[in-house]
């Protein structure tokens, strides 16, 4: 069959290309902290107002040079424009579906919910601190875990002083919840 009659995937469906850790559960809101929301809005604004106009200018200049088939500036610029437009669409979807949750309004709550910063003890030994944040803010190296991660789901609704059992790839581990705080995350 001729290629002219087949539809090629242009990669516009961002949700299919996302890793499972960045996909929202179907029908759920995109819970996000105020700082995370501000970062997404800032990135979107930068792409729309700064990055995209620069690339459009380069592509226009490269197109005016004539033969586009072997023009590296033109080809790279068009590719970069597609990447920027894809990211802008992704950010629009995320921000449209965002529900900003300020952890500081929780007060002195000792129960774990979105936005909590939790101090844990693993098997009565190692202590670690995790903050439960939105999926776009998760960064394990900084102790920020997504609210849809297995650990966060195990911690949700538990209280300070509780002990829970958590299934890890290495086996079942006991977790003691030592402290629950609600801080402003920057």
- Both 122 and 93 in one domain: the answer is no
Assigned domain for 13 exists: no
pTM: 0.77
- Both 75 and 113 in one domain: the answer is no
Position 27 confidence tier, pLDDT thresholds 50, 70, 90: confident
pLDDT for res 15: 52
User: Per the structure block, which two tokens stand in for 99?
Assistant: 């529900």
User: What tens digit of pLDDT does each residue of 69-114 get?
Assistant: 778 888 899 999 999 999 999 999 999 989 999 888 877 788 899 9
- Both 66 and 130 in one domain: the answer is no
Q: Does residue 108 sit in helix, strand or coil?
A: coil
Q: Do the Cβ atoms of 142 and 162 come closer than 8 Å?
A: no
49, 70, 99: which is the final residue of a domain?
99
Domain of residue 133, CATH code = 3.10.50.30
pLDDT for res 7: 44
CA-derived radius of gyration, the chain: 22
Q: Which residue has the tokens 């003890």?
A: 121
- Both 148 and 109 in one domain: the answer is yes
Q: Under 8 Å CB-to-CB from 163, ≥6 apart: which residues?
A: 174, 175, 176, 177
Domain hosting 62: range is 29-99
- Both 51 and 77 in one domain: the answer is yes
User: What tens digit of pLDDT does each residue of 119-140 get?
Assistant: 999 887 889 999 999 999 999 8
Assigned domain for 9 exists: no
Report the chain's mean pLDDT, rounded to a whole number.
85
58, 77, 99: which is the final residue of a domain?
99
CA–CA separation, 123 and 180 (whole Å): 18
51, 80, 99: which is the final residue of a domain?
99
């Amino acid at each position: 069959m001729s290629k002219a009659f087949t539809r090629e995937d242009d990669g516009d469906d961002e949700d299919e290309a996302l890793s499972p850790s960045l996909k929202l559960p179907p029908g759920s809101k995109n819970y996000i902290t105020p700082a995370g929301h501000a970062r997404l809005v800032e990135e979107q604004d930068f792409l729309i107002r700064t990055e995209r106009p620069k690339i459009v200018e380069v592509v226009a200049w490269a197109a005016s040079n004539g033969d586009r088939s072997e023009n590296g500036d033109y080809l790279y610029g068009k590719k970069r424009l597609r990447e920027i437009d894809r990211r802008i669409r992704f950010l629009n979807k995320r921000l449209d579906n965002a529900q900003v949750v300020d952890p500081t309004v929780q007060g002195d709550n000792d129960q774990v919910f979105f936005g909590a910063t939790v101090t844990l003890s693993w098997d009565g030994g190692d202590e670690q601190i995790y903050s439960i944040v939105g999926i776009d803010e998760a960064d394990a190296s900084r102790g920020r875990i997504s609210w849809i991660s297995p650990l966060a789901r195990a911690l949700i609704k538990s209280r300070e002083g509780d002990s829970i059992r958590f299934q890890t790839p290495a086996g079942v581990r006991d977790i003691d919840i030592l402290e629950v705080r609600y801080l402003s995350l920057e």
